[in-house]
C-alpha cells in the first residue's frame, strides 16, 4: 500500500509536470502563456477560421495583458503572438498562401502595394505545410514578425507595417471572419 506521503509527492509531481493549457479552442488545446522576445504573454482569446463551412485552423491571440481593443492591438509596437493550428487535411501550402494573399487585399485599410514583397515572403513560409502544423506569428518590436512552424523558425518579415497588416486580417475593421475576431478579443 502506498503511503499518504508518497501519494502526495506523486500528485504534486504530476501537477507540476503537466503542461498548462488554458483553453480548448475549436477542439485544439492552446497554452495559457507563451514567450516572445523574453516576455511572457497571456492568452487573450481564440476561435476557429472557417472557409465554405469547413474549419481551416484554430487561432489564439497572446498579449502582455488582456485587451478587447482591436485597433490598439493592431497598432501596438509591443510583443504579441498569433498561434494557429491547421485543423483540416484539405489545407495545402498553396491554398493557405492564396488565402492569406486574398485576406491581405480584402482586409487592408490602406494601400498594401508597398508590402507586396513582404506578403510574398510570408506566403512562402507555408511551404511544406501539413495538417496539424502549428504556426506562430510572433511580433518582436524592432525586428518584425517571427514565423515558426511547430516550434522551429521559418522566417522573419521585418517591420511594424507588416505586423499591422497581418494582425489586421483577424482584428482589423474588415476582419476575415467577424466571429473569429470577437473570440480572439475575448468576447
In tens, the pLDDT along 17-64 reads 344 455 788 888 999 999 999 999 999 999 999 887 778 899 999 999
Work out whether strand 144-149 and strand 54-63 pair parallel, antiparallel, or are unpaired. unpaired
Closest CA to 73 of 147, 168, 146, 144: 168
Please compute, for residue 147, the number of CA atoms within 13 A of its CA located in the half-sphere on the CB side: 19
Alpha-carbon dihedral angle through residues 158, 162, 154, 120, given to the nearest 10 degrees: -110
Question: Cβ distance 186 to 93 under 8 Å?
Answer: no
Q: Is the pLDDT of residue 8 over 70?
A: no
d(C-alpha 183, C-alpha 48), whole Å: 9
Average pLDDT rounded to a whole number, residues 64-77: 97
pLDDT in tens, 114-144: 999 999 999 999 999 999 999 999 999 999 9
Classify the C-alpha dihedral 64-69-75-81 as positive or negative: positive
Q: Which of 170, 166, 175, 136 has the alpha carbon at shortest distance from 41?
A: 136
pTM of the model: 0.86
Roughly how many angstroms between the first and final C-alpha of the chain, as a whole number?
49
Q: What is the spatial distance between Cα 95 and Cα 151, in angstroms, rounded to a whole number?
A: 22
Mean pLDDT in residue range 96-100: 93
Cα 25–chain centre separation: 12
pLDDT confidence bin for 9, thresholds 50/70/90: very low
Provide the pLDDT for residue 109.
78
Q: Domain 20-184 belongs to what topology?
A: Chalcone isomerase (3.50.70)
Amino acid at each position: 500500500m502506498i503511503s499518504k506521503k508518497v501519494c502526495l509527492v506523486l500528485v504534486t509531481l504530476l501537477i507540476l509536470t503537466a503542461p498548462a493549457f488554458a483553453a480548448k479552442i475549436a477542439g485544439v488545446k492552446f497554452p495559457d502563456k507563451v514567450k516572445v522576445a523574453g516576455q511572457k504573454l497571456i492568452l487573450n482569446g481564440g476561435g476557429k477560421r472557417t472557409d465554405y463551412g469547413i474549419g481551416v485552423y484554430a487561432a489564439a491571440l497572446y498579449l502582455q495583458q488582456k485587451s478587447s481593443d482591436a485597433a490598439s492591438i493592431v497598432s501596438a509596437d509591443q510583443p504579441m503572438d498569433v498561434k494557429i493550428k491547421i485543423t483540416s487535411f484539405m489545407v495545402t501550402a498553396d491554398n493557405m498562401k492564396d488565402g492569406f494573399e486574398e485576406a491581405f487585399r480584402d482586409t487592408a485599410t490602406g494601400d498594401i502595394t508597398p508590402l507586396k514583397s513582404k506578403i510574398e515572403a510570408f506566403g512562402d513560409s507555408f511551404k511544406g505545410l501539413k495538417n496539424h502544423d502549428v504556426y506562430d506569428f510572433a511580433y518582436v518590436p524592432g525586428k518584425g514578425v517571427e514565423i515558426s512552424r511547430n516550434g522551429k523558425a521559418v522566417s522573419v518579415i521585418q517591420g511594424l507595417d507588416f505586423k499591422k497588416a497581418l494582425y489586421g486580417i483577424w482584428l482589423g475593421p474588415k476582419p476575415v471572419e467577424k466571429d473569429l475576431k470577437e473570440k480572439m478579443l475575448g468576447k
